[in-house]
């Protein structure tokens, strides 16, 4: 309000200043809240989304495991920065491996791996064979003798991998004199005491042995 001399009367600007300060405080609060929300959403997307919405992983695997172990080894040709396996699994290149502490028959082993969203291991290279050979020899006491792999005798003289990978197109690491095609020996194991890399042996699928499950690592 103007006084008689054409000046603003003292205190007339206070309400406007108070309103300006109030709106400034509100905007600061809103911006701060939005930043906190954005940070929280980013954290959730980073930690949760890769595991709950990854379309290239079996849903059973996602549902089975809530804890994961990741490292920043960046696979060639990918733009994402972390390679993850379920906690307790062992990673090599693009795969995760589970070495079981318990024993089952071959068919039960195959079902157990499938139930975790994985499969009995399919060995595609000498490097993979050597890695697994080291892992099984590092198993805790008591030392196991055999680990089932995903190789079985579909019919006499015809071995088959569980994922239908052509057997003749993959490396073969049989022990000397194996497979001996003894009656009833219709699946393959990695024999721990045998010096690698040639440590495969054919055994009866009814025997209870340890197992190696394999699944593709999650890239996030």
* 121 belongs to a structural domain: yes
Both 37 and 70 in one domain: the answer is no
Looking at the fold, whether 41 and 70 belong to one and the same domain comes out as no
Domain count, the chain: 2
Q: Kindly state whether residues 79 and 167 are assigned to the same domain.
A: yes
Contact 57, 117 (CB under 8 A): yes
Residue 52 lies in a domain: no
Residues 99 and 166 in one domain: yes
**Higher per-residue confidence, 73 vs 195:** 195
**CA dihedral of residues 95, 99, 103, 107 (deg, nearest 10):** 10
Same domain for 24 and 64, yes or no, is no
Does 4 share its domain with 64? no
The answer, yes or no, to whether residue 31 has pLDDT greater than 90, is no
pLDDT at 153 over 50: yes
In this prediction the pTM is 0.70
Does residue 92 sit in the same domain as residue 196? yes
If one compares 72 and 124, the residue with the highest pLDDT of the two is 124
**Which range marks the domain in which residue 21 is found?**
1-47
Share of the chain above pLDDT 70, in %: 66
Asked if residue 195 is part of any domain, the answer here is yes
Same domain, 137 and 95: yes
Residues 64, 29 within the same domain: no
The predicted structure's pLDDT at residue 97: 97
């Amino acid at each position: 309000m103007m006084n008689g001399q054409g000046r603003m009367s003292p205190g007339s600007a206070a309400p406007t200043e108070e309103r300006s300060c109030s709106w400034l405080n509100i905007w600061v609060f809103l911006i701060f809240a939005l930043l906190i929300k954005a940070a929280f959403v980013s954290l959730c997307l980073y930690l949760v989304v890769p595991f709950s919405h990854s379309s290239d992983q079996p849903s059973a695997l996602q549902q089975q495991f809530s804890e994961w172990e990741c490292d920043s080894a960046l696979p060639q040709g990918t733009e994402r920065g972390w390679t993850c396996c379920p906690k307790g699994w062992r990673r090599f290149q693009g795969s995760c491996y589970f070495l079981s502490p318990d024993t089952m028959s071959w068919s039960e082993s195959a079902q157990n791996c499938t139930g975790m969203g994985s499969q009995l291991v399919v060995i595609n290279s000498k490097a993979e064979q050597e890695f697994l050979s080291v892992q099984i020899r590092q198993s805790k006491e008591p030392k196991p003798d055999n680990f089932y792999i995903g190789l079985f005798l579909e019919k006499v003289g015809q071995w088959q991998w569980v994922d239908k990978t052509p057997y003749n197109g993959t490396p073969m690491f049989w022990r000397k004199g194996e497979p001996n095609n003894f009656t009833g020996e219709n699946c393959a194991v990695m024999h721990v005491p045998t010096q690698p890399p040639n440590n495969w042996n054919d055994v009866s699928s009814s025997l209870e042995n340890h197992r190696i499950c394999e699944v593709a690592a999650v890239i996030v």
